[in-house]
Structure 1
Amino acid sequence: MAHIDPKASRAADRSRILQIDAEIQELEKRLRLLRIERDGPQKRLEAYKYPVLTLPNEIVSEIFVHTLPLYPACPPLIGPASPIPLTHIGRKWREIAITTPQLWRAICVSACGQGIRRKQTEVVRTWLDRSKSCPLSIQIEKQKGNHPVLQEIDLHRERWEQVVTETTGSALRSFFKGSMPMLRNLSVTMQDDTGVRPAVSPVDLPRLRRVSLTWFRYPVDWLPCAQLTSLTLNAMHSPNYIPILRHAIHLVNLTFIGCDLFTRSEAQSQLDIPLTQLTSLVIVASNVVRVLNLISIPTLHTLWLSGGDLGDFPMGTLCPLISRCGNGKLRKVLVVGHLSRGVSKKAFRSAFPTISEISFNSRFRFDARQEGDEEDSGDSDEEDSDSHSSG
């Protein structure tokens, strides 16, 4: 084995260290030059203001609000269509989103089975806190009990402006109770036929104006009928809704969908319920003749009808009824669905020359109608593409 001279080895190590130190000095010099070179672009970038970040917070807040469905429609609690992703973009936008109450004022929850968990209750509590003093739009799907999330919502009852719920009688009573001073719009779909009455009276609902009732099988004497301006009755029996009509003297919009509409003898004994301010009437999947014979509507402007309800001779069915409808003020008739086979739409228009617009539509949009909107999709038939105008 060759002998290594310790003296020579130490000399080699010292030489290598000097070489490494020289390389380090060169690299450090290069790093200094690179840092100096980087300072220029870095300062220019820091001085640049992205246009979106120069917007006032109020403008950003308004943009955020427009990313959601138009109030009172409710966005989902979580997911990309929720306002929550707006809090994940950056610190500034998170602060703006959290402090914009309008983003958190419309809340939709599912109150059955596994639909409500502890996390969802916490999310709802957060939304309610962030909504500050804003009026609230509440949508509850399939309400079956008094779950903690409903208790959270109930704490803010004084701010309810719109409530849409599918519920049982007992759940409605436990949830819908006490004074609701801001409630304007109410839509309730019953899931059973129990006669449980909500723990409210008309004085608890001083601002209620728009009501939609589905599948109510008992009297609705807790409604402030005299102040209602819009009423939708869906799958209801006449003994339950006739008292409402008799007291709803300020109705402007009225909708019947699949309602039980009297026997002939009942109709004869209860003619001419006065609805003297009604301007829009919708009758879908119900008996058109009996409805129009029941009510007095001297100011009616717009009449929606289901073509399938008019029978085989729609002109003959409607002629005597329209003649007493609106006292000449009826200006628009919209026929939804399809007329009986063989009925000419051109002849239908000709039969009513005093009506300036008669339209035909294959669909009826219940949701849009609730918001006071009309949709005339029309038929592909060229004859039906234009409305009829009287000379």
Structure 2
Amino acid sequence: MSHLLRKRLAELDREIASKRRKLFKLEKTRSAVEAELHAAATYPILTLPVEITTEIFLWLRDLQPLRIPRCRMSGTIAVAGVCRAWRAIALATPRLWSNLRINFDGIEHKVVLKPLWVECFVDKWISRSRNCPLSLDFESRSVLHFTDSRLRHILHRYSSRIQTLSLDIGYRDPRPLRFDWAEFPLLEKVRLLCHSHSDQDVDFPRPMNIFANAPRFRELDMQSSTLDTTLLALPWSQLTKFQGHIKNLDLFTLAPNLVEVKCALLPNEDVFSTTMITHHNIRTLNLDKDCNLIQPIALPSLQHLDIAKMDSHELLEPFLKRSSPPLASLSMQALKGPTGNCFDHLCQCMALVASTLEVVKLCKVPEDLTGISTISGTFPNLRSLQISLRNTDHESGLAKLLDFLYSPRCTLRACKFLWAESPFLDRRAFAGTRRGTHKVDTISGHLARLVKGGMSVYIGTEDKNYLVG
């Protein structure tokens, strides 16, 4: 019996050896076919020049903030993990690692508790940027999650290389970060979001030094619903661009070199000044809410004015009269004047800048387009006009629009008209050409003819230009 079993085992061994030889041949053949395939096939993305691939990576790096660990990856880490070729390109591109965005509040608490784990990660990331200037974007609202001392250590460690800094600390006090203890020789732009817990916290016992050692500091975005920025000991005379909330008009005297300003008053504050303030360098002014800010100031160099909300046009005319600015663009809310026509009242207010005005944007026009033809005669250099209508009286408004655009005095090269709903463009209208002849056509047909003549026309909603379907 045993000799039969030994014979059977020998047969099985021979069969296994035969199968192994066949498997070896199949694997060898497969390897050859795979090598031939890789030699013949190319992946288009891998054939791009390294310079183009690098630019794509640089564009991807800002898509998502970094979460530590294993949450949402930033664009830099994602592309570096695709293949060896991409990883080599990523590691060989210092600029790819010069931007770092971290939400410290999104880091798992057990990871934060590990001594220096987060700091080592930041060091490793920034070490790959070599000597490139840094752009840091940190969000750390909870002092109990990531302490002031740890955040201060990171900021001070790399202060000599920071060029752009964005810091959202919520209701944390910015003073413990001690920006006055560090040198910031490359710092140019700062975005700081912070608030205070109560009105008493706003009254600091002394001005808070912030970025006093930053000779290239030029742009400040200070977003706070309670903190008075003028209580900060900033290098105000260096600033050329400011965005944020203000408590009073001290900004316009503290920062004489400002060129661009976007601001709004702190809640429950009002502007009262018995002295007229003249600022000679501001060229762009954007008021988020309060048009009353222009009442006690004069801006003789102003070129671009954007007023998001106006209760009345009464402040606009005296402001332009005392400033006499070379205003090139105006964006504002259109209000009814004494005659009930917003265009007549607007033209009357803007007579002092009619010779320089090229771009006008009007929002919330409270009526149809009656009186729009007065714009052509008032603004001889107007090139672009955008109007957002509040109502939906499309048919009468569109007919007046055609007459306005066909007018020989119309100097527009581009116009944009926005309705809350889809405009009715299939209605037929009898309208004239610039040569004086008239023709019956649909409104869309008339507008297409104007476009063919060289005018850029947008008419529809925010999402769709119905002229082009």
Q: TM-score, normalised by structure 2?
A: 0.63
Name the structure 2 match of 1:134. Answer: 132
- Of structures 1 and 2, the larger Rg is shown by 1
- Work out whether 1:76 is the aligned partner of 2:76: no
Aligned ranges 1:92-131 → 2 under 5 Å = 92-110=85-103, 117=112, 118=114, 120-131=118-129
- Work out whether 1:237 is the aligned partner of 2:247: yes
Name the structure 1 match of 2:331. Answer: 334
Q: Given residue 193 of structure 2, which amino acid in structure 1 is its aligned partner?
A: T
Distance in 2 (alpha carbons) for counterparts of 1:114 and 1:81: 14
Q: Choose from 171, 176, 179 the match for 2:179.
A: 176
Quote how far apart the aligned CAs of 1:344 are.
4.4
Distance in 2 (alpha carbons) for counterparts of 1:186 and 1:377: 34
Q: Choose from 256, 270, 277 the match for 1:272.
A: 277
Query: Cα–Cα, structure 1 residues 306 and 106, in superposed 2: closer, same or farther, change >3 Å?
Result: same
Tell me, yes or no, if the aligned pair for 2:336 and 2:345 is still in contact at 8 Å.
no
Helix, strand or coil at the partner of 1:303: strand
Quote how far apart the aligned CAs of 1:36 are.
5.5
Quote how far apart the aligned CAs of 1:332 are.
1.6
Aligned ranges 1:9-158 → 2 under 5 Å = 10=3, 12-13=4-5, 16=8, 19-20=11-12, 23-24=15-16, 26-28=18-20, 30-31=22-23, 33-35=25-27, 37-48=29-40, 49-69=42-62, 75-78=65-68, 79-110=72-103, 117=112, 118=114, 120-141=118-139, 142=141, 144=143, 145-158=147-160
Gapped regions of structure 1 (runs ≥ 5): 1-5, 363-375
Tell me, yes or no, if the aligned pair for 2:236 and 2:255 is still in contact at 8 Å.
yes
Is 80-89 or 249-258 further displaced after alignment? Answer: 80-89
Q: Choose from 286, 289, 299 the match for 1:285.
A: 289
Distance in 1 (alpha carbons) for counterparts of 2:185 and 2:46: 40
Structure possessing the higher relative contact order (Cα contacts under 8 Å, 6 or more residues apart): 1
Is 190-199 or 59-68 further displaced after alignment? Answer: 190-199
Distance in 1 (alpha carbons) for counterparts of 2:90 and 2:37: 26
Gapped regions of structure 2 (runs ≥ 5): 197-201, 365-385, 412-469
Tell me, yes or no, if the aligned pair for 1:143 and 1:166 is still in contact at 8 Å.
no
Tell me, yes or no, if the aligned pair for 1:335 and 1:359 is still in contact at 8 Å.
yes
Quote how far apart the aligned CAs of 1:27 are.
3.3
Helix, strand or coil at the partner of 1:304: strand
Quote how far apart the aligned CAs of 1:143 are.
6.5
Distance in 1 (alpha carbons) for counterparts of 2:307 and 2:260: 14
Helix, strand or coil at the partner of 1:157: coil
User: Hey, which of these two has a bigger chunk of helix by percent?
Assistant: 1
Name the structure 1 match of 2:257. Answer: 250
Quote how far apart the aligned CAs of 1:101 are.
2.7
Tell me, yes or no, if the aligned pair for 2:210 and 2:232 is still in contact at 8 Å.
no
Query: Cα–Cα, structure 1 residues 347 and 68, in superposed 2: closer, same or farther, change >3 Å?
Result: farther
Tell me, yes or no, if the aligned pair for 2:135 and 2:162 is still in contact at 8 Å.
yes
Distance in 1 (alpha carbons) for counterparts of 2:104 and 2:27: 60
Name the structure 2 match of 1:357. Answer: 359
Helix, strand or coil at the partner of 1:154: helix
Name the structure 2 match of 1:186. Answer: 190
Helix, strand or coil at the partner of 1:27: helix
Distance in 2 (alpha carbons) for counterparts of 1:201 and 1:66: 29
Helix, strand or coil at the partner of 1:47: helix
Q: Deviations over 1:95-144 (max 9, x none)?
A: 33234332333333445697772454443333222232222222333264
Query: Cα–Cα, structure 1 residues 76 and 110, in superposed 2: closer, same or farther, change >3 Å?
Result: closer
Distance in 2 (alpha carbons) for counterparts of 1:21 and 1:140: 67
How many pairs are equivalent? 349
- Work out whether 1:216 is the aligned partner of 2:227: yes
- Work out whether 1:226 is the aligned partner of 2:237: yes
Distance in 2 (alpha carbons) for counterparts of 1:350 and 1:50: 61
Quote how far apart the aligned CAs of 1:180 are.
0.8
Quote how far apart the aligned CAs of 1:181 are.
1.0
Q: Deviations over 1:124-176 (max 9, x none)?
A: 33322223222222233326452424412320001112222344675334342
Quote how far apart the aligned CAs of 1:272 are.
2.9
Helix, strand or coil at the partner of 1:232: strand
Distance in 1 (alpha carbons) for counterparts of 2:389 and 2:14: 87
Q: Deviations over 1:267-311 (max 9, x none)?
A: 22x2033x222211112222x24x32432311211111133x333
Helix, strand or coil at the partner of 1:300: coil
Query: Cα–Cα, structure 1 residues 147 and 379, in superposed 2: closer, same or farther, change >3 Å?
Result: farther
Name the structure 2 match of 1:310. Answer: 311
Q: Percent identity?
A: 20
Query: Cα–Cα, structure 1 residues 199 and 271, in superposed 2: closer, same or farther, change >3 Å?
Result: closer
The Cα RMSD (Å) is 3.8
Q: Given residue 250 of structure 1, which amino acid in structure 2 is its aligned partner?
A: N
Q: Given residue 164 of structure 1, which amino acid in structure 2 is its aligned partner?
A: S
Tell me, yes or no, if the aligned pair for 1:253 and 1:278 is still in contact at 8 Å.
yes
Q: Given residue 232 of structure 1, which amino acid in structure 2 is its aligned partner?
A: Q
Q: TM-score, normalised by structure 1?
A: 0.73
Tell me, yes or no, if the aligned pair for 2:252 and 2:277 is still in contact at 8 Å.
no
Query: Cα–Cα, structure 1 residues 81 and 348, in superposed 2: closer, same or farther, change >3 Å?
Result: farther
Tell me, yes or no, if the aligned pair for 1:165 and 1:189 is still in contact at 8 Å.
yes
Name the structure 1 match of 2:216. Answer: 207
Distance in 1 (alpha carbons) for counterparts of 2:155 and 2:27: 57
Tell me, yes or no, if the aligned pair for 1:301 and 1:326 is still in contact at 8 Å.
no
Distance in 2 (alpha carbons) for counterparts of 1:28 and 1:219: 83
Query: Cα–Cα, structure 1 residues 379 and 99, in superposed 2: closer, same or farther, change >3 Å?
Result: farther
Distance in 2 (alpha carbons) for counterparts of 1:247 and 1:305: 23
Tell me, yes or no, if the aligned pair for 2:220 and 2:243 is still in contact at 8 Å.
yes
Q: Given residue 209 of structure 1, which amino acid in structure 2 is its aligned partner?
A: R
Helix, strand or coil at the partner of 1:66: helix
Helix, strand or coil at the partner of 1:95: helix
